[in-house]
Chain A
């Protein structure tokens, strides 16, 4: 399957600081999705990016897809305790039949 590497594995930030997680691939991706999993919960879809250089925003969250479509990032501005959880990137195969997930970044926000 398609491999996507995600860094960092863990991140601790003070409330109010910014946070970024990165997803990298050695091959060109047709799309990238981002999911959030709260502690003890299940992954929940956040967004999908498909175009080269695409940038999308959801309130304090900014998602980017690289120009070469080999990397993506999720940036959270001024983190809050509600942002705590693990953030995953995922790639969906061209047939749309398989979702491959990165290893995830676990975010801890210190009040």
Chain B
């Protein structure tokens, strides 16, 4: 049972480049999330998807887009990367109803 799988694990981008972070879960969860983690800032919610076909903004959505491709997959896209987007990105999933979140291994992104 793989749980939540993120790719890639590491990425270096130049300012202005675009990229998509992939996330897939095999637990049949309805809800999926993208967070970014910065030192001293904790985990901040970028976007979430409560169910297949829906997406909503979180706390820090600017500069990002998401796609809930199907129930398993939730991708995060940076259209024009900026140094301020250097961070560790985590995808997570959960069932609806205030149950626990399961996290992927994270993507460490550096924008130079």
- Contact partners of B98 in chain A: CB under 8 A: 30-31, 48, 50, 92, 94, 96
Contact status A101-B42, CB under 8 Å = yes
List of A residues within 8 angstroms of B56 by Cβ: 97
Query: A80-111 CB contact bits vs B (8 Å, 1 = yes)?
Result: 00000000101010111111111110000000
Inside 8 A of B97's CB, which chain A residues have their CB? 96
Contact residues on B (Cβ < 8 Å of other chain), bracket: 20 to 34
Point out the residue from B40, B41, B94 that lies within 8 Å of A99, measured CB to CB.
Answer: B94
A residues near B58, Cβ cutoff 8 Å: 1, 98
Q: Interface on chain A toward B: helix, strand, loop, or mixed SS?
A: loop
Beyond A1-B45, A43-B90, A97-B48, is A103–B100 a contact (Cβ under 8 Å)? no
B103 A100 Cβ-Cβ under 8 A: no
| Given A31-B98, A48-B98; A100-B45 close (CB under 8 Å) | yes
- Of B31, B35, B44, B101, chain A has the most CB atoms within 10 Å of the CB of B101
Which residues in A have some Cβ–Cβ distance to B below 8 Å?
A: 1, 6, 9, 30-31, 33, 35, 41-45, 48, 50, 88, 90, 92, 94-104
